Structure 1
Amino acid sequence: MNNLKKQNSILDQIRIPFFNKKKYFVKEYIKFFNKKNDISYAINNAINDCHNNGGGIVIIPNGEFYTSSIILKSNVNLHLQDDTVLKFYTDPNKYYNVFTRWEGIECINYISLIYAYNQKNIAITGKGILDGQASFYNWWSWKNDINGNHLQNDDVKILKNMDKNNISIKNRIFGINHFLRPNFIQLYLCRNIFISDIHIINSPMWEIHPVLSENITIQNIKINSLGPNNDGCNPESCNNVLIQNSIFYTGDDCIAIKSGTNNDGRKINIPSKNIIIKKCKMYHGHGAITLGSECSGGIKNIFIEKCTINGIIQSFFKVKNNAERGGKINNIYIKNINIKFIQNYFFNINYLYDEGDKGDFIPIVKDIFISDINVEHCLQVFNINTFKKSIVDNILLKNCVFKGLKTPEKILIYNKYNINIINTKFIS
């Protein structure tokens, strides 16, 4: 099956879920309104009623409202009206513990601001704003505060050691008095997901994080969140995903595809696959498209096309991996990309990320096909850093133009490899 047929086959399998037209108005569930009152009870009660009565649309009205966590349930479309601003509290005590994944490792930790577990036919729609209110005076300070402290580091180390030592998930308990930040939206073990038109700002950490989920459409969204680890959209161990017509201003990677970390990733062993990214605009971030570093379950069949890159983007396409993660990444198709400016590299593979070559698991990247790329300015086209026994192979670069180059290519690959460059110009 050729590239186009593969892509069309995936698109044929992705379906936007159907919702009953019955409407549930959150304002009818608010007992007493004060601007700063927590209305999460009203939103969740409306969702429960909608779910229990065959599904429909839960409507959050125009205006500014405050809330803590929202739990989505099957057959419910949570809809924000055009002038809705939903502000989420930053008090950790508002967020109880649930089963979750934190940077690819399973644990018990803070519920995400919007959460669903094992649900089907769910949606978040409308042109309103979801505001996590994160800043360096609350959630972001756990990564690095204004005094240079890194509060989360000890908990990250503890969680990684729990994974390494195969500690039971029920004993991997974090939350209150710990410093592992929640995601904004986490949809875990769900299917038939539709996220459209929303505007997300100021997320505690990753913005949209579907996990072990399938049949996902994310379209026409705007993300503007410049905090640490503020990835825009991170499908993890997901199948049949379409991300299109969306805008990203992020503090980390705009889109990062993942599949679990180390032992947990290998134990579950479910790759992210059949993912299409098209007609997106990236204006701020580390990588426009990144694979990893949590990729122990593998990543394959990724299609990236008709995207525009401009602004402060460090690199266009990145692979982050190491000998602790391992995992195979293959069948990546990139075409029709227009890039005005990227700070560093067009194509970056880094196998020396974090633990580097200290481990027993071999990173593999192969079968990457890149065509019809126009870059007005970038520092370097290829920046590839690997280690002995790791594998990079079969990369095709065809019909591309790279301008404004300042640095010769760096290709450090130890295995026998095949990089074909056809009808491509490198202009300094």
Structure 2
Amino acid sequence: MRKKLALVAILIHALSSASAAIKTKQLLVAPGTLSATSATLIWDKPERQLNISQYHIILNGKEVATSTQCNYTLHDLQPTKAYNCIIRFEDNQGKLLSFGSTVKFKTAFTGKILNVTDFDAKGDGTTINTQSIQKAIDACPKGGTVLIPQGTFLSGALFLKSHMTLEIAKGGVLKGSVNEADYLPFYNNRFEGWEMKTYASLLNAGVMNNKGGYAVEQLSVKGEGTISGGGSALGRAMIEKNGIRSRGRLICLMNCHNVEIQGLQIQDSPCWTIHYIYSKGVTCHDLNIVSTARNGDGLDPDSSDDSYILNCTFSTGDDCIAIKSGKNPEGNVIGKPTRNVRIMDCDFTKGHGISIGSEMSGGVSNVLVQDCHAGALLHGLQIKGTKERGGYVKNITVTDCQLLQITVFSAVNYNNDGAPAPEAPTFENFIFRNIDLSKAVVKEPVIDINGFTDPGHQLRNVTFTNITVPENAKVKINNAEQVKFTDVKSATGNKPQYVVNNSSAITY
């Protein structure tokens, strides 16, 4: 009888696993992306079905598009109309496998458009238009759009608000002034893990409050044009006047909810490019982010939940993406983690890394990096902190990517001032799966993972599965436990050299 019951349980598990293999767990409209005429959809890959050739988008019972990615932006929708959407999966033999989950949504109404030229802004590249553009923003009604048309519109700091769109049209440039005085007065925000006063950014939204609540909701910054900051010249001017940590960013969001940044060329920040703090539901998609400034990060989610970074290209002077949550000791006390980050279908052509940390004292969890392609980044995909940080990084999945290096650092030689946390960080539960490292340079370890020496703080519970490495590759493991390597080999089947120190339960 027990054998029969056990067999039944096995069959039920097998059937449920097969069902999960052909259905999404989640289909959603990305936060902030629902407008009168468009919406961006995101869905999960089938967990066990790996031979998907494309996805079919079914809208109100009719197929409207296909996609090879797990996201798609619907255009030409009707305002204030209800839609019902499902995704079907097609395998390599052309068979439609199953319906996935369903999402229902209703588009917004068509709002009023305010052209900044109607507020006396001039796109001549020399006139400072800060007051004119700000007047248009202040006058924008709920659901309205402030339009930057063709031309170069020079401006200092601008302050956005809820329920509006800032659109930069094709051929239009919102250009940041290089005069540091155009970003005064100082205001409260956070930089390199600490709350402090700095210069304002070119685009600002919200008011910082680490106790919670949202100051700005339903904001969109989009278009086919360019947002260009004052670049290194502005950064140097800010440093000379008030020090290195005084610099504003290009775009800074604080305590914001449901924000979209979409479609734009974004370039020449004085330091970090897009930075959002204590926010939830920020979607950045179809952006080309270029930075050459000192500390020129591309995108920094900071103590924020539910981030979606899709179809973006990065060429930066520092980290392409740096996921943060504050710095010791303040970050530990505030204790606001960054959770639920999806990075999908992005190209990283230049920069220091696709990074988690080093300011991660409030904790980071539930990060997915999927279908991304990385060039010769200084440290590849990296998870980094120091023993002083405290906090944690856990539940990280990196899958179906082309990378040149994977690193986990437990020490960095910068930004380590400040009193230490009561105990070292915890790094645990990392999954690396279906990754092509074959083009990595072998003079350094292609996988270099390190935990902390403090008892109980070793790097733990890490799996590497189906990883292609170059010939003569080296894998280095320090201060770790329960790390498993499965099918980690070169194209000709050769395994890498493993160098293991102060570690236990390492399987390869």
TM-score, length basis structure 2: 0.71
CA distance in 2, matches of 1:284, 1:190: 29
Matched letter for residue 323 of structure 1: K
Task: Using the TM superposition, name which of 376-385 and 273-282 deviates more.
Answer: 376-385
Q: Aligned pair 1:296/2:355, yes or no?
A: no
Matched, 1:255 2:297: no
Structure 1 match to 2:448: 383
SS of 2:329's equivalent in the other structure is: helix
Number of the residue aligned with 1:188 = 254
| Cα deviation, residue 395, structure 1 | 0.6
| Cα distance in 2, alignment partners of residues 5 and 320 from structure 1 | 36
Distance 1:177 1:420, change over 3 A: closer
Equivalent residue for 1:199? Answer: 265
Change in Cα spacing, 1:10 to 1:236, as seen in structure 2 (3 Å) is: farther
Counterpart residue number, 2:96? none
Q: What letter is aligned with 1:399? A: N
* Residue 410 of structure 2 corresponds to residue 350 of structure 1: yes
> Residues 25-424 of structure 1: matches in 2 within 5 Å?
25-30=115-120, 35-50=125-140, 53-96=141-184, 97-117=186-206, 118-135=215-232, 137-140=233-236, 177-179=242-244, 180-287=246-353, 289-310=354-375, 312-339=376-403, 342=404, 345-354=405-414, 355=416, 359=420, 360-378=422-440, 379=442, 380-389=445-454, 390-405=457-472, 408-413=474-479, 417-424=481-488
CA distance in 2, matches of 1:189, 1:294: 19
Deviation string 1:233-259 (CA, Å, 9 cap, x unpaired) is 111111111100010000111111001
Aligned residue identity for 1:383: D
Q: Tell me how far 1:123 sits from its aligned partner.
A: 1.0
> Distance between the aligned counterparts of 2:427 and 2:349, measured in 1?
27
Contact 1:17 1:122 in 2 (8 A): no
Q: Which amino acid aligns with 1:292?
A: G
Question: How large is the Cα RMSD of the aligned pairs?
Answer: 2.7
- In 1, Cα distance between equivalents of 2:238 and 2:348: 26
Counterpart CA distance in 2 for 1:262 and 1:67 is 36
Q: Structure 1 377/142 Cα, relative in aligned 2: closer, same or farther at 3 Å?
A: farther
Question: Which secondary structure does the structure 1 equivalent of 2:135 belong to?
Answer: helix
**Structure 2: gaps of 5 or more residues:** 1-15, 36-107, 207-214, 497-508
1:55–1:45 distance in 2 versus 1, CA, 3 Å: farther
Distance 2:367 2:242 in 1: 39
Q: Is residue 323–residue 356 contact of structure 1 (8 Å, CA) maintained in 2?
A: no
Query: What do the CA deviations read for 1:320-367 (whole angstroms, capped 9, x no partner)?
Result: 21122111110011100023xx3xx32332334444999343111100
| Partner deviation per Cα, 1:93-124 (whole Å, 9 max, x = no partner) | 11121111111211121111110112111111
Query: Does the Cα contact within 8 Å between 1:275 and 1:301 map onto a contact in 2?
Result: yes
Q: Which shifted more, 387-396 or 176-185?
A: 176-185
Aligned residue type for 1:132: G
Identity %: 28
- Classify 1:65/1:230 alpha carbon distance in 2 versus 1 (closer, same or farther; 3 Å): same
Alignment CA distance shift 1:386-1:6 (3 Å): farther
- Write the distance in 1 (CA, Å) between the matches of 2:22 and 2:342: 13
Structure 1 residue 35, shift from structure 2 partner: 3.9
Contact 1:201 1:224 in 2 (8 A): yes
Q: 1:276 to 1:31 in 2, by over 3 A?
A: closer
Task: Give distance in 2, aligned partners of 1:109 and 1:4.
Answer: 49
Which protein has greater RCO, CA pairs closer than 8 Å, 6+ apart? 1
Q: How much does 1:6 deviate? A: 13
Answer yes or no: is the 8 Å Cα contact 1:363–1:391 preserved in 2. no
SS of 1:100 mapped into structure 2:
strand
With normalisation by structure 1, the TM-score equals 0.83
Q: How many residues align?
A: 385
Deviations 1:162-193 (A, max 9, x none): xxxxxxxxxxxxxx544421111110000010
Paired with 1:364 and 1:10, the residues of 2 have a C-alpha distance of 31
Partner of 1:216: helix, strand, or coil? strand
Change (3 A) 1:183 1:7: farther
